[in-house]
Chains A and B, each alone.
Chain A
Amino acid sequence: MGSSSSSRNKIPNAQELMRQTGFSSAHLLRLHDRFESLDRDNRGYLSPDDFEALGGLAMNPIGGRIIEAFFSSGIPWTFPPLSGFWLISVQLTETETKKEHSKSSPAAGPGSSNLYDLDRDGKISREELLQVLRAMLGLQVTEEQLQSIAERAIQEADLDKDDAISFDEFKKSLEKMDIDTKMSVSFLK
């Protein structure tokens, strides 16, 4: 279609992006449209407040963490990085699903454990776990219950008893989980 080829020209380095990320041109177009609609003041790049304007994300319990996770590198988000954003999301998916290929230890990749591990010390401490739980369970449970739950979760996973969940322990505890079925978003063509 004529329109698509002209709009593809809006996207710089379209071909290269397509190759990098493995998306089709329709996907890229969609992402680009989304990028433009998010970037309200037309700065050409995205910043955290653009994301915060998204209502759904504001209500999402871990919305803040998602935003943080993607802005952690501090690079201004022009369009290629947005597709890179998607790529990271895809990576989150892929590293989780790599389980199928490797068939050894599940590759619960650095992606999702980063969502817990805010101070990036490679371990999920009790406090970090508590924060995540607090965000997700919110007002439904009392503080004691939260503590108990966090305590129990750590006890289940913590094999070397250092009271924090290292990345390996994290992987191990998710062995039996069917991550690949959960961790995928289908994209309408």
Chain B
Amino acid sequence: MTALWTLSLLLSASLLGCLAVTSPDGSPLPHNLPPSLGTNSSDGSLSVDLPMALRVFSMDYHHVQAPFEIVLWIMLASLAKLGFHWSGRVPAVVPESCVLIMVGLLVGGVIYGVRHSAPPTLSADAFFLFLLPPIVLDAGYFLPGRLFFENLGTILWYAVLGTLWNVLGIGLSLYGVCLLAQSSLGDVSLLHCLLFGSLIAAVDPVAVLSVFQEMQVNEQLHILVFGESLLNDAVTVVLYKLFESFLRLPSVSGLDVLLGGCRVVVVGIGGLCVGLFFGLLAALTSRFTSRAQVIAPLFVFLYSYLSYLTSEMLHLSGIMAIVTCAATMKQYVEANVSERSKTSIQYFLKMWSSVSETLIFTFLGVSTIQDIHMWSWPFVCSTLLLCLIWRATGVLLLTAFVNKLRRNAVTFRDQFIIAYGGLRGAICFSLVFLIDDFPKKRLFITTTIVVILFTVFVQGMTIKPLVELLYVKRKKRALPTLSEEIHSRLIDHLVAGIEDVVGYWGQHYWKDKFEQFNKKYLRRFLIRNDRQASSSILRVYQELERREQRGVEEEAPPIVDPRSQGRSLLPEEMESIRRILSRNLQNFNNKQTPAYSRHTLHQDTSVDRTRKPLYRHQSLGERYSYNTITHFQGEDGGLSEPQRVRTGLSRSHTVCSISPRSTLLDSSDSAGPAQTRSMDPKAAREDLVSPKHQETVERAARKHLSFVLENEKQQ
């Protein structure tokens, strides 16, 4: 662990070396001097001084300077991240973003010390065009759709009205402060204050994500804060540009304000439409990728990025576009592409967003070391205070309203976390650099940096203990049991039915309508040979089955006990099973990590698909034969429940055991119909009572296990 820190410091030293070697403005001196007698004017290239001879060894840094430095920065940030995770107790206390900022500060300080000039800063263009999209794309792709739409009203309420409240509040109060401190702050006009308010008030999705995902609060809370941070981009962008253009205009009229309001709507909805358009296009394209599967993931990224760039070009909300694009294309793309492509997509998304986030925070730290700071106690302190106060009051007021309309109220604890979790981040930072120059711009920059550092460090570090202290409801970890899933679906249908009877077009009604539309038109058009939509019950069931096959010890509810009918496994059989399991099956942690975790991808089952399921649980085998029997016995006119006839188990289960596919169901699918017919004559016999039953079962068990034992011999 210390080795990693040393390594990263070494790297930063090398980075400095490179930077020191280059000329301060970074522009390479002309290369086109002929390789004359040993003299060279470009620094950094050595040569053997031989007249009219070839250079045996030369170094040409300028040729690779730009990519080299970029890679070094990324390497440095990633090594710091690695070191962070290896460093014992630190991750539990300090969120990753803080550590990265500190590393950035360190490196920035060192660079400053060496070169006595400001280190490279994060340019706004680089941030908005290259660093922000991957993070937002990742967030949009893994957005929990259902939860998001259920809470959409509340999220919009917070995003639009909350941001407006904050902007106006902070702007006006700051202006009041400036009026009070006439001496030092007299030349900050109202519009400047409003502009500043607009950029400092917005909650930042990057910061929120990085802190909240380590916290594991309940999903509703997470989606509220996170959704708000995504959607307030529309409002922020508009207000910022609005105030900026007001600053340039000679005068502002009421009409302009009204137009500004219209612009919010246009920006938001425009971004949405752009995203939808590209999302559907991506879905359509993915339909045809079956012959070139390797590039299928590329389309996801290309289309999303294109949607972002297009909406930035049209001055619409890029964040909304990319989120919509990702959320739209997800279900169709995942149905169209192969398993490996799906995993690649998810993995690359995580990787890129991780790199982006790391870079952003590191650069935040580096850029703090500037020589253009201007400090003013009243301004900075009042900004900090006002941000906190206005956010708290905003959340309180808005929640009071929204709770009347919501089904499940947002509790006070949740409200506190929402207010406290309003972190500012790199978006504010970039926006403040983009302001037109005016005397107090440096003050704004300094203040923004202070606010960002304060929210990320103080609020970011303390929010986790607060969440535990206040007993905020945490996220459920386990996969829901099948009963829960079934009942949950039943309740959905029930409530939809009730809404129907009462004639109320509620949420369920619209959801149903959308699902029907989706099934009828969209899926048929966008998905290649639409395999059946898997209902959530089926998915949960399959997931539970898969887990069972892979790992025996689970924290899941006690499920699938061997049938308590007096049949137990012989000790040597248990041993061989155990040995096979420990040798063959992956020993992986069964905790279901949330999909939007920065560090890990939810362990996808795709890796295991190619494995043969070696171990079929006893009762699964039985269940299978029971299934096939009852299937045709249903045709016979039904049979009473308790009589379970188990015959022909051997054939059925050997088929399913060897199949390379991992789900029981697929194999049973193909084998089922064939089996039933052949078993017809056998099972019609009524004298298959207990003794034979027992014998058959034992025979079955032994056969089953003999297969297992055989397999072991092969290893």
Contacts and interface: CB of A to CB of B under 8 A. Distances in A.
A174 B492 contact: no
Contacts of B252: none
Interface string A30-43: 01001001100000
B498 interface: yes
Given A86-B502, A148-B623, A115 B494 contact: yes
Contact of B669 (A144, A153, A165, A186): A144
Interface in A144-166: 144-145, 147-149, 151-153, 155-157, 161, 163, 165
23 contacts: A54-B501, A62-B497, A63-B497, A63-B500, A112-B490, A133-B486, A140-B538, A144-B668, A145-B538, A148-B541, A148-B627, A148-B664, A148-B665, A148-B668, A155-B561, A155-B619, A176-B476, A176-B478, A176-B481, A177-B487, A179-B491, A185-B506, A186-B405
Contacts of B32: none
A144 B487 contact: no
A74 B120 CA distance: 80
A186 B506 contact: yes
Interface of A is mostly: helix
B42 to A, nearest CB: 68
Given A92-B494, A152-B544, A156-B481, A54 B564 contact: no
A66 B538 contact: no
B472 to A, nearest CB: 15
B30 interface: no
B674 to A, nearest CB: 12
B490 A156 contact: no
B490 A126 contact: no
Given A173-B481, A186-B506, A156 B641 contact: no
Interface in A106-164: 112, 115-116, 125-127, 129, 132-133, 136-137, 139-145, 147-149, 151-153, 155-157, 161, 163
A66 B499 CA distance: 12
A147 B629 CA distance: 11
A31 B491 CA distance: 22
Range of interface residues on chain A?
A: 35 or more
Given A54-B501, A112-B490, A174 B484 contact: yes
A89 B497 CA distance: 10
Contact of B541 (A149, A184, A188): A149
A3 to B, nearest CB: 20
Contacts of B498: 66, 89, 185
Interface of A: 31, 34, 37-38, 51, 54, 56-57, 60-63, 66, 85-86, 89, 92, 112, 115-116, 125-127, 129, 132-133, 136-137, 139-145, 147-149, 151-153, 155-157, 161, 163, 165, 170, 173-174, 176-177, 179-188
Contact of A136 (B483, B489, B502): B489
Given A62-B494, A184-B407, A51 B484 contact: no
B537 interface: yes
B3 interface: no
A177 B488 contact: yes
B535 interface: yes
B714 interface: no
A120 B642 CA distance: 20
Contacts of A182: 488, 491-492, 495
Given A137-B538, A147-B630, 15 more contacts: A37-B503, A63-B500, A66-B501, A132-B490, A143-B631, A147-B631, A149-B482, A155-B561, A156-B559, A170-B483, A177-B480, A180-B408, A181-B408, A185-B407, A185-B498
B700 to A, nearest CB: 17
A31 to B, nearest CB: 7
Nearest to B558: A156
B491 A112 contact: yes
B628 interface: yes
